[in-house]
Chains A and B, each alone.
Chain A
């Protein structure tokens, strides 16, 4: 049963600490997305990659957020230093973008981050 795996599922940290969230996309998918969900803003796209290359990170605060894909099986989202306003659920999604693909995105269960 192919699925997007995110770790950790929950993270509580103190303001100023570094936070790293990890995502394992579905094998064979060439596009990976990072979203953030809050009550106030809903679901927002932070960044996405195709074939491991960043295509758009305009939704991400550049001064403290960074996203990478060290290899095809791992995507990371890092916050340094973290702030209370970063508290949210962070979702990773993957999909396959091709000429005849349906472009469906498959979501992980999310990482619930609380910054105290």
Chain B
């Protein structure tokens, strides 16, 4: 059974810092990996999706990497802003579109 772990569970940084969120998974037979953002009381917004054949994806200040063989993904956020404060969820896509989620990293960017 796939298990997804996210480290750290919570992170508080001053505005402007570059930061890295980590995600690890136990079964490397994945279809893709997605990073989501969740704001309090809201649904999930997809940030980046990396297909299993890809190594990384970039969108603006966000960069996500994937190392399938080691079962790891990282989300890099450059020049963090208070508006980046949210919970970031990593989800591994299995065959059939099923997603297995990590518990999330709660990020707070202080102004």
Contacts of A107 in B (CB 8 A): 36, 43-46
Q: Which of B18-26, B63-71, B94-102 contacts A (4 or more CB under 8 A)?
A: B94-102
Q: Which of B43, B44, B49, B96 contacts A102 (CB 8 A)?
A: B49
Taken together as a complex, chains A and B put the C-alpha atoms of A32 and B11 apart, in Å, by 33
Q: Which of A43, A55, A91, A93 contacts B96 (CB 8 A)?
A: A55
Taken together as a complex, chains A and B put the C-alpha atoms of A111 and B82 apart, in Å, by 27
Q: How many residues of A contact B (CB 8 A)?
A: 25
Q: Assuming A31-B97, A42-B102, A48-B97, is B44 touching A103 (CB within 8 A)?
A: no
Contacts of B49 in A (CB 8 A): 102-104
Q: Counting CB contacts under 8 A, is B73 at the interface? A: no
Q: Are A110 and B97 in contact (CB under 8 A)?
A: no
Q: Are B98 and A56 in contact (CB under 8 A)?
A: yes
* Interchain nearest-CB distance for A44 vs B (Å): 8
Q: Which of B98, B100, B104 contacts A48 (CB 8 A)?
A: B98
Q: Counting CB contacts under 8 A, is A77 at the interface? A: no
Q: Counting CB contacts under 8 A, is A45 at the interface? A: yes
Q: Are A104 and B102 in contact (CB under 8 A)?
A: no
* Interchain nearest-CB distance for A45 vs B (Å): 6
Taken together as a complex, chains A and B put the C-alpha atoms of A56 and B93 apart, in Å, by 15
Chain A residues within 8 Å of B, Cβ to Cβ: 4, 31, 33, 42-45, 48, 50, 55-56, 91, 93, 95, 97, 102-110, 112
Chain B residues within 8 Å of A, Cβ to Cβ: 31-32, 34, 36, 41-46, 49, 51, 89, 91, 93, 96-104
User: 8 new A-B pairs (CB below 8 Å) besides A102-B32, A102-B49?
Assistant: A42-B101, A42-B103, A42-B104, A43-B89, A103-B93, A104-B46, A105-B46, A106-B46
Sample 29 A-B pairs with CB under 8 A, ordered by A number. Answer: A4-B43, A31-B97, A42-B102, A42-B104, A43-B89, A43-B91, A45-B98, A45-B99, A48-B96, A48-B97, A55-B96, A56-B98, A97-B97, A102-B32, A102-B51, A103-B93, A103-B97, A104-B46, A105-B34, A105-B46, A105-B97, A105-B99, A106-B46, A107-B36, A107-B43, A107-B46, A109-B43, A110-B42, A110-B43
